[in-house]
Structure 1
């Protein structure tokens, strides 16, 4: 069933004694806005949580109880080779890939590259949307080598930003073992490995999301996909535990449903109805209970309905 409404949503989650999104360019420190000190979690990291949840719960293609279960494969998955994924579309559609010789600057023939062309690319693009949940949800650039075109996804997420500045703590940790005999010899049998771990004592984060019904029509993103997206947002942290991430949990998913596809109010005006403030008397917040989360549900713009999903 195709989407008949525009949706804007607010994803509120928190972290306790964990690193919600390490920055590999900064020694895996929690990401921070350098000017304000607010914590950040990238949209890519949030999408990864959703992809992993869908892969865990729905991407069972070999033992799918129904043929349409193949709709829930994940395109951008760990250790995937994307051009091999693209080739599957051509193989499934029975389209032979063209072989074009690439010319270098001197006009000499170089290595051959596989590509698709014309109507074949559009057919491959549709096949990818039909079979991969994340392609028809978030979009993808699939024109690298084996050309399956580009998809602009109907669901877009912003960076998540903490409500207040965070403190990134660094801890020394010890492993009571070493990796090699050479290391053991240097330590004369002590056999310890020192390391570092970064955590945020507590942070409450907010991300914004947008669902376009018009783009959903182009990719085939439907009502079932939307409900699966909401389920992934509400439950993904419960199945993404690790020592590095500490305690993370979705605290609220607040959805503004528009009566029309075009929308009945600007997203920013709806997001501004949600106010999060530290409670009076709380000097150092360490739990979601230390904040007041207020939602102004009065006098919503005509044609807009508010839903609290978790």
Structure 2
């Protein structure tokens, strides 16, 4: 059956979602795009997706729907590409489940360890895990600044079990429209490798209000985020995750690295460019909930199950909470607060 005979929807047309969906549409595939932000949907309906890159502006007409319009569907979906925030995964699965075909698939194109969450709702046979390396910003409804060009965008795709999924190759074809797709033998380990990157590169630099490259020039910041990475790496070892290649790195480059967190961080910095603002910083500036709890918070929570603490990741959460409460704004001076909290946390261990 031709891929255009499949019922394909995209749920979540924020910055990354809009970038990926527009590439899929421009490759000739028919998809429906659902989003929970009414103004965003209306702009996309009138003007399409507007995606700005270093190569110029791209405008793509799209079939956009309000999320509530899922209730109007009369047929089941074969492929659901889910690009909402990681903390939205549970309710999104609840909403989509009644409209998912018996052999349909949900692909979580998200940060965090969401693949198992999706599988808990629809089963591993109807779940594909996905890792994505793509930096973008939604500057206003329907308008995206894509910092990672298509040729530099990377996806890791994998099954959660040894199950022959009829849509696997179709999903690979769709994602290939937006970047390079690698097949991950151990998708959960690959997701953890990306979480390791995100613990270092999202929350910490968002607290400073700086892009990653600029933030790394702040004295002491590189050492601080690598300590965060070491905590996350240590937890991954406890949980039994393997070293799985991501972001285009080879298996040898990953396994032969003397300090894997640093290798991953440097690779990310090379790929995203000097001015990219991460998604957590964007949410902080908009006064929205961030994914810090789903990323750094997960490390703190899981290490506590082993009767261990994560003083560096915990400090990121604490400063993030102060910003969320409106008592601080993202600012380079926040590194001094971060250091004080880390020192306090380390003193408690001693």
Shorter-chain TM-score: what band? under 0.3
Between Structure 1 and Structure 2, which shows a larger proportion of strand residues?
1
Which TM-score applies when normalising by structure 2?
A: 0.25
The structure that has the greater radius of gyration is 1
Answer 1 or 2: higher relative contact order, Cα 8 Å, separation at least 6.
1
- More helix per residue: 2
TM-score (structure 1 length as normaliser):
0.27
